[in-house]
Chain A
């Protein structure tokens, strides 16, 4: 029998590593990877407790989170591709404002 603390630890670790991606990496694509890690960390917790308690609503919410996260990834990556097409570097230190 495992303690739920294991799941908190795993999802918390994934969340911290995703946040570290956002802080330490300078490429926008790497920042999208970090966001995906953070979303997966949250979803892992939701699914664990929903499955453990037999709560179908929790699993439905996790399904909706996966779909919304996929949409977020598509929008983020298409913005990055648009930047690359316009000969801008997709790096954070060269983009100070959205207007750039």
Chain B
């Protein structure tokens, strides 16, 4: 049941991504991206990575989406033509159909499942936190510094 829900979330993410590609407005694309991010967060949660699912909602669907919407609101209306030049229609259909063809091909070529039951590993998130603030602490600090420096990039240089 959990696996079926995981697949449903993944399929929902693909559908939202395909919808986002063919939206004429950036608002529509941003809303569809929100759908993708929430579906992926649901998939993380169902896979047992509840902390990552929460982070996905807080960081991506929250902070990054707010920044994205602000950038869209700052865009002048002349950004109305959404596509690069006039792409041939077959290219758009290819972009839409290729993921589904790939999905069918994978399912056709895939062997049987390996039979291992999929269950949550108890204490996995505790181990993850121990790694992040133990063995991987320098990496965690480096990424924290990266986020800090990135947030400084939005400051405007005074003339």
Contacts and interface: CB of A to CB of B under 8 A. Distances in A.
Contacts of B121: 51, 54
B143 A68 contact: yes
A18 B33 contact: no
Interface residues of B, number: 90
Given A33-B33, A44-B40, A25 B68 contact: no
- Chain B binding surface, main DSSP class: helix
Contacts of B60: 36, 40, 66, 69-70
Interface of A: 1-14, 16-18, 20-21, 23-27, 29-30, 32-33, 36-37, 40, 43-44, 47-48, 50-52, 54, 56-57, 59-60, 62-64, 66-75, 77-82, 84-85, 89-93
Interface of B: 3-4, 6-7, 10-11, 13-14, 17-18, 20-21, 26, 29-30, 33, 36-37, 40, 43-44, 47-49, 51-52, 55-56, 59-60, 63-64, 67-68, 70-72, 74-76, 78-79, 81-85, 87, 91-92, 95, 98-100, 102-103, 106-107, 109-118, 120-121, 124-125, 127-128, 130-132, 136, 139-140, 143-144, 146-147, 149-151, 153-154, 156
12 contacts: A1-B117, A20-B98, A24-B87, A33-B68, A47-B43, A51-B121, A59-B49, A59-B51, A74-B150, A77-B70, A84-B75, A91-B79
Given A17-B99, A37-B33, 6 more contacts: A1-B117, A52-B47, A64-B136, A66-B52, A70-B147, A90-B75
